[in-house]
Amino acid sequence: MKLQHLAIIFVIIIVPISMVMSSYIQNQIDAIKMQTAYDNRLINATYDAVKAFQLNTTNNKYSSISDSKIRDIQASVNTFYNSLLTSTNEYALSAEDLQVYVPALLFTLYDGYYIYTSYDNVYSTVGVDEDEKVSINLDGNNYQTGLKPYVYYSAKYKLNNGNVIVVNYTLDNEITVYGDFGGTDGYVTKSGYLINPDSVTNINETNKTLKYDGVLIEPEILTEHLLTIENQETGETKAGDYRYIFYQNQKIYQDHDDNGNLLYNEDGTPKIFWYQNYIKTYVNDATIREYAKSCNMLSTSAFDYYYQAREFSLWVRDKLGNITQANTLKNEDGITPIGNDGNYLAENTGNTKIFYADENNDPMLSSSAFNNHRIAVIRKSIETNLSTVIANYSSTTLYNYAMPVMSNDDWYKILNNVSLVSFMQGMSIGYRYYNNYAVITNNINKEVVTSENIYIIAKENGSNNREYHKPGCDELIKGVKDGSLTIIGAYPTASFQRQTLRISESDERHYYLQACNGDILTGCFNCIVKATADYDTDDIIDGTIEHYEDETSIIYNSNDIAKIRKSYLTALARERYDLYKSNFDLSNLG
Query: What 3 state SS string does 291-320 have?
Result: HHHHCCCCECHHHHHHHHHHHHHHHHHHHH
- Residue 189's pLDDT is 93
Mean pLDDT of the 440-459 span: 86
Residue 558 confidence (pLDDT):
55
The percentage of the chain sitting over the pLDDT mark of 90, rounded to a whole number, equals 46
DSSP codes, 342-353: TTSSSS--TT--
Average pLDDT over residues 135-159: 76
Element spanning 55, H or E:
helix 3-58
For helices 66-87 and 3-58, what crossing angle results, to 10°?
A: 150
Confidence (pLDDT) at 587: 39
Weakest-pLDDT range from 261-275, 395-409, 472-486: 395-409
H or E segment at 369? helix 369-393
- The amino acid at residue 586 is L
Confidence of residue 554 (pLDDT cuts 50, 70, 90): very low
DSSP 510-540: EE-TT-GGG-EEEE-IIIIIS---SS-HHHH
Q: How many CB atoms lie within 10 A of CB 222?
A: 20
Q: 209: phi > 0 → left, psi -120 to 50 → alpha, else beta; which?
A: beta
Per-residue pLDDT at 30: 58
Strands 164-168, 454-460: pairing kind: unpaired
Estimate the crossing angle of helix 369-393 against helix 408-416, to 10 degrees.
110
Q: Are 76 and 55 in contact (CB under 8 A)?
A: no
* Residue 115 pLDDT level (bands cut at 50, 70, 90): very high
**pLDDT number for residue 167:** 96
- Averaged over 140-161, what is the pLDDT? 83
Exposure of 427 by Cβ count < 10 A (0-12 exposed, 13-18 middle, 19+ buried)?
buried
pTM, to two decimals: 0.86
| pLDDT band, residue 65 (cuts 50/70/90) | low
Q: How far is it, in rounded angstroms, from Cα 73 to Cα 223?
A: 31
> Is residue 553 predicted with pLDDT exceeding 60?
no
Looking at the DSSP bridge assignments, the partners of residue 510 are 500
When pLDDT is cut at 50, 70 and 90, the band that residue 7 belongs to is: low
Does the pLDDT value for residue 585 go beyond 50?
no
pLDDT over 60 at 549, yes or no: no
Beta bridge partners of 456: 469, 490
Task: Return the pLDDT at 561.
Answer: 73
Q: Look at residue 573 and tell me whether its pLDDT is greater than 90.
A: yes
> Rounded to whole angstroms, how far apart are CA atoms 420 and 271?
42
Average pLDDT along the chain: 84
Whether 124 has a pLDDT exceeding 60, the answer reads: no
Q: Which amino acid is at 323?
A: I
Tell me which H or E stretch contains 414: helix 408-416
| pLDDT attached to residue 56 | 75
Could you tell me what percent of the chain has a pLDDT over 70?
Answer: 82
Q: Where are the domains of the chain?
A: 22-102+418-442, 223-298, 449-578
Q: Which residues contact 537 (CB under 8 A, 6 or more apart)?
A: 366, 451, 452, 454, 471, 472, 568
